[in-house]
Amino acid sequence: MIAQDDLGDDLDAGVAQGIITNAQASALRALAAEREKARAAALSHEERFRFMRGFNDFFFASGVLLFGAGAAFFAASVPVGNLLAAAMMWSLAELLVARLRLVLPGLLLVAFFAYFVARAVPLESWLGSPAHVTIATFNTFLDTITGHGNPAVACARALLIALAGLAFFVRFRFPFAMLPMAGGLVLAVMAFTPPSAGWVHAYAILLACGLAVFAAAMAFDVSDRARTTRRSDCAFWLHLLAAPLIVHSLIRLTVGNAFQAMTGQVAATIVGIVVVLTIVAVVIDRRALLVSTLTYLGIAIAYALKAASTDQNKVFFATLIVLGAMVLTLGVGWQPLRRGLMTVVPSRIALRLPPVVTAA
């Protein structure tokens, strides 16, 4: 994490100035790592990530947003203009991310850089004019943002987004860059989902993509059980992408469009899926899966409450109260519940997951 990096820089400076020896610096690094692990345990392994250290971060982020929006307008669809804009975003990242280590401006710089890189290559000219096809499931998004109806263009542009995220991550080790990298790969896969296959096939592929991203996130998590390094932040952003992919596709594959005409059986199915995903979220100590289920759980709760009242306003706000109370209760009881669930998890798996926080 950035705080650890700052400490490392300070220790290196102390060694360079002869204030401390290399051995003392190594001992201090080891002590800091142990104390960070202890703090993580004391904080119940909360998913901590920092957007801002102060208002200066917001100030710079405002500048990046304004500058990037203006550059996008003037770059339009001109390859040279987008290439120049991408270069400017990279230069700003050298200052704001590499030198000043600002997170919030960095999020915007990654997004703008990936956008300009994806538009800098004249893919339509190279891969042919827009084809009259419909891309399953994501046709509107891909038509307007990436491919204009041409699966080859959509796939290539999505891969450019992924490469832009990879380049940003390799240079700056910025965890958020994992999101456009993984997201670009998912879009590239979905670009060639044939319309003739139907929505079941499309959502099956989407579920497979979500599980693949989830596996990548877990790989980062397993490599940093104490969640004290950048790897934990990389896992956080990958979990944030994987969760809606898994939840949405799993529910659609299970109940189809039936949740739009809710029945007791459909509501029970949704609740069952939410319970299973909640157990997984608690065991791996990540909340993204749970957050992604809230909309569907709210629909099921509203259906149950309609039996007690036909007033739509009362049902809506009562749903908010019930859903909020459930989230708060689970939040307070997260660690006790996790301690109970981990007792039935095989030891070979438990040893790869975040340590259980002992009761005070």
Residue-wise pLDDT for 39-82, tens only, equals 655 554 566 667 777 888 999 999 999 999 999 999 988 889 99
Which is more confident, 291 or 9? 291
- Choose the final residue of a domain: 112, 134, 163: 112
Mark whether 17 and 94 lie in a shared domain: no
Mark whether 26 and 75 lie in a shared domain: no
Query: Could you report the per-residue pLDDT of 202-254, keeping only the tens digit for each?
Result: 889 999 999 999 999 999 999 988 888 889 999 999 999 999 999 999 998 99
Residue 311: DSSP 8-state: -
- Give whichever of 51-60, 173-182, 304-313 has the largest mean pLDDT: 173-182
Whole-number pLDDT of residue 263: 83
Q: Tell me, yes or no, whether 17 lies in a domain.
A: yes
Residue 286: DSSP 8-state: -
* Mean pLDDT computed over 8-20: 81
Mark whether 4 and 93 lie in a shared domain: no
Mark whether 269 and 359 lie in a shared domain: yes
Mark whether 57 and 34 lie in a shared domain: no
Whole-number pLDDT of residue 199: 76
- Please give the tally of structural domains in the chain: 3
Q: Tell me, yes or no, whether 217 lies in a domain.
A: no
Which is more confident, 159 or 42? 159
Q: Tell me, yes or no, whether 190 lies in a domain.
A: no
Q: What token pair was written down for 175?
A: 């965890």
Q: Tell me, yes or no, whether 226 lies in a domain.
A: no
Average pLDDT over the chain, rounded to an integer:
84
Q: Return left, alpha or beta for 285; rule: phi > 0 is left, psi -120 to 50 is alpha, else beta.
A: left
Mark whether 326 and 296 lie in a shared domain: yes
Mark whether 61 and 37 lie in a shared domain: no
Instruction: Give the list of residues 6+ apart from residue 36 with CB closer than 8 angstroms, or none.
Output: 4, 226, 228
Per-residue pLDDT band for 4 (boundaries 50, 70, 90) equals low
Mark whether 263 and 303 lie in a shared domain: yes
Q: Tell me, yes or no, whether 342 lies in a domain.
A: yes
Which is more confident, 143 or 168? 168
SS3 102: coil
What is the pTM for the complete model shown? Answer: 0.82
Which is more confident, 9 or 344? 344
Per-residue pLDDT band for 163 (boundaries 50, 70, 90) equals very high
Mark whether 57 and 85 lie in a shared domain: yes
Mark whether 349 and 308 lie in a shared domain: yes
Query: Could you report the per-residue pLDDT of 95-146, keeping only the tens digit for each?
Result: 999 999 999 999 999 999 999 998 888 766 555 544 433 444 444 444 544 4
Q: Tell me, yes or no, whether 238 lies in a domain.
A: no
Mark whether 106 and 85 lie in a shared domain: yes
Helices (H) and strands (E) in the chain, counts: 17, 0
Distances in Å between the Cα of 187 and the Cα atoms of 23, 220, 226, 256 are 49, 22, 32, 22
Mark whether 320 and 271 lie in a shared domain: yes
**Angle in degrees, CA 130, 244, 138, rounded to 5:** 15
* Mean pLDDT computed over 88-92: 97
Q: Tell me, yes or no, whether 60 lies in a domain.
A: yes
Q: Which domain covers residue 290, as residue numbers? A: 259-360
- Choose the final residue of a domain: 79, 95, 112: 112
- Choose the final residue of a domain: 112, 129, 146: 112
Which is more confident, 242 or 308? 242
Which residue in 148, 149, 147, 217 sits closest to 182, CA to CA?
217
Q: Tell me, yes or no, whether 181 lies in a domain.
A: no
Whole-number pLDDT of residue 99: 93
Which residue in 147, 150, 144, 186 sits closest to 165, CA to CA?
186
